[in-house]
Amino acid sequence: MKTYDIVSMSDLYTLKAADLKVAQMTALLLGNGHYALKDEAGALVLPVLAFGDGTAWVSERFGVTKDWIAAHLEPLIACMDSVELLGKRSSLNDIGKQAKEYAQALRAQLARQQGATS
């Protein structure tokens, strides 16, 4: 499991993932392209995509986003659950709360998906 820093204009948060793409997608979902992501060595592994053509970047790495998410629900849930605030929250933007809400929504999607296949 690797730890990544979420780079935002808000407070400092981290997330954990075994797979880089899961970490990237988690940051993309949480920030809608407004957050970058750095690995443990401080290397940028996800640029801010909100102000450029992020669609091409995402498509090259994930294909059809909806399909990629549906195929990776469990690791995405675990990654959302791992989002942690470092220090005291000073921003109105509560990334940790957003992560918990996303995890709940992904759990509901997983339950629906499992119900459809049983």
Assess contact for 38 and 5: CB atoms under 8 A: yes
Counted residue by residue, the chain has a size of 118
Candidates 14, 100, 13; CA nearest to 4 is: 14
Residue whose token pair is 């109105």: 92
Residue 118 is predicted with a pLDDT of: 59
pLDDT truncated to tens, each residue of the chain (118 aa)?
Answer: 999 999 999 899 999 999 999 999 999 999 999 999 999 999 999 999 988 778 899 999 999 999 999 999 999 999 999 999 999 999 999 999 999 999 999 999 999 988 877 5
End-to-end CA distance of the chain: 31
User: Residue 107 and residue 101: Cα distance in Å, rounded?
Assistant: 10
Domain ranges in the chain? Answer: 2-117
